[in-house]
Amino acid sequence: MTYRVCFVCTGNICRSPMAESVFRAQVAEAGLGELVEVDSAGTDGWHEGDGADERTVAVLEAGGYESHHAARRFQAAWFSRLDLVIALDTGHLKALRRLATSAEDAGKVRLLRSYDPAAGDALDVPDPYYGHMDGFEECLEMVEAASPGLLAAVREQVGGRAA
């Protein structure tokens, strides 16, 4: 049975496609590619159908990650097929929990940086869209720092399903 993870930011062109690419690479490296499906979406539909922001693509490529992406808006109906919904900031967390139609679905929503023990109380990944390239680089660093903890949590869930 496939374990499904979806990363969510605002427009699905910066943070969430970056997290999707990084986490997909980590899942593949861990040998879990056949067991874990990784996706992304936005809380809003402003950029539906667009590729990732060129700065996101540049930072991902510089980091050795692949990026094939078309933006789309998160739909409440997706909760039924998803196991984990990863919000990139507290605004997304609240928006996603409002979309949830049950306590079970709301419980599937987590903040990405909650998987990074070094994050402390700074759990938001700042939106780099209106800034410069350094904001995108910082975003990648935050995503990479949280991904091992997220991978460990997903590995535990996948292991539990296989048992």
Q: What's the CATH code of the domain at 112?
A: 3.40.50.2300
Determine the pLDDT at residue 67. Answer: 85
Exposed/middle/buried for residue 52 (C-beta within 10 Å: 0-12, 13-18, 19+)? buried
Alpha helices in 4-108 (DSSP H): 15-29, 54-62, 90-99, 103-106
Asked whether the beta carbons of 88 and 125 are under 8 A apart, the reply is yes
Domain of 37, in residue numbers:
3-162
- Per-10-residue mean pLDDT, the chain, length 163: 96 98 97 97 91 96 94 97 98 98 97 97 97 97 98 92 52
Annotated active-site positions, please?
9, 15, 127
Would the pTM of this model clear 0.75, i.e. be above it?
yes
Number of domains in the chain: 1
